[in-house]
Structure 1
């Protein structure tokens, strides 16, 4: 089992008394791939950060790769985090760094300090970085500076870094938010193929509901920090999506077997 949450509650980092996540029950098997969907502020990013052991829960139980991360020593928890890869929506890439160096940083948990410093001046394996970037259509950016990349290119640069990690669980936050539909499909396909090849777990938050339903067999819907549904995609109905995004306007694409509405004014209930 990659992740197991038992009545997990997480408070906002601001110190507010309100909870960001409320009594979540969730189990994710090793090698499973699932999509998190829900309106802005639903708790998707907080859940991914919590799974990555970046947020300590306020209450409830949590296991990550068979371990309780918050009962471990600091050193042991750091070792556990090295088995996970969290790709944030806005990757914190140093702006003056070359793309090749940013991508090879995925190997830092496995390098000594001497290896890391050496690679800053002379990239240790540019061929591996080029191959990873090429899978996202960025091979020509190998020696570009990070601050010369567009937002979508920065996202894909961060995902290329993911390919060079040896993580057992991949936690990806809105990886296609800045990409056109064609690049979005290629990006999701690459992530899913990589996860399948290394038998890694993939948990991916998506704002694009139609992409989640087209690419993932399991869909978890979050709203106001609570799991509204956790179902195989064929059991996720348009009515469920409407209720999940109640009072929001979302762009809609046809789900297989459905006629394409131009837009959905979401306000329906079960």
Structure 2
């Protein structure tokens, strides 16, 4: 799944709303695994939603597989979105539904209406749901109700859907926010292994900078809706990280990165 962004600007709340992403230039090639880091409000969630074709840009060029999704018909754009999987930090899971049904919802784009309705009463592929949950340490929750899960369990339940989808791009927002270190590594490993196995693109926003640097070959630092650096992890220094997370009133050190070698070409790490 190839993404190309050229001078892309995205606004909140319509064409006259505040700017969320400022003139981004970005290329993400098929099979790339990219970590997005940056302070709260940097634009990470908005960028993921834009890549998922959920936010229409205000200006600039945006293509997915060489196609501008916003020039397609609604039906064609819907088919394109079916090839993408956006996993929000807090997945909107039906509270009274069983976990098996929630996870199998990832199959809905491939089922007829009758198959989808019948699966509500008798799950069609419980073994597939179990296998997906087991990779996130949730195999024993197959027939639990969603509202009986902890926050971290609900988060992993939502991610298990990724494994049952046919997505070519995993766009994952803060998947480790409710997890302890052991479960964090288990979860990230499952996502990365699945992406690698199907040559899917993985773009993952993280607040855990150490985990991003340890597990992703390419790291993009966002701040105030702008790309501060886009670099191979071996070129991401402690000084760059410190500048990225400086207090908002201290803009000068961050702005200096825009004209420095820190904003590197990343072809070697794709």
Instruction: Please give the TM-score of this superposition, normalised by the length of structure 2.
Output: 0.91
On the 8 A contact 2:15/2:58 being kept in 1, the answer is no
* Matched residue count: 252
Q: How does 1:1-270 map to 2 (within 5 A)?
A: 2-13=2-13, 17-247=17-247
Instruction: Please give the TM-score of this superposition, normalised by the length of structure 1.
Output: 0.91
The answer for unaligned runs of 5 or more in structure 1 is 249-266
Structure 2 residue aligned with 1:253: none
**Any idea what SS the aligned residue of 2:172 has?**
strand
Q: Distance in 1 between matches of 2:53 and 2:196?
A: 23
Q: Distance in 1 between matches of 2:108 and 2:141?
A: 21
Q: Distance in 1 between matches of 2:144 and 2:181?
A: 25
**Any idea what SS the aligned residue of 1:123 has?**
coil
Q: Distance in 1 between matches of 2:172 and 2:17?
A: 27
Structure 2 residue aligned with 1:257: none
Structure 2 residue aligned with 1:255: none
On the 8 A contact 1:100/1:129 being kept in 2, the answer is yes
Q: Post-superposition shift, 1:14?
A: 6.5
On the 8 A contact 1:242/1:268 being kept in 2, the answer is no
Q: Distance in 1 between matches of 2:90 and 2:15?
A: 23
**Runs of 4+ residues over 6 Å off in structure 1:** 267-270
Q: Distance in 1 between matches of 2:253 and 2:152?
A: 33
Q: Post-superposition shift, 1:65?
A: 2.5
On the 8 A contact 1:36/1:44 being kept in 2, the answer is yes
**Any idea what SS the aligned residue of 1:55 has?**
coil
Q: Distance in 2 between matches of 1:208 and 1:179?
A: 11
The answer for unaligned runs of 5 or more in structure 2 is 257-270
Structure 1 residue aligned with 2:259: none
Alignment root-mean-square deviation, CA: 1.4
On the 8 A contact 2:2/2:28 being kept in 1, the answer is yes
Q: Post-superposition shift, 1:236?
A: 0.4
On the 8 A contact 2:103/2:158 being kept in 1, the answer is yes
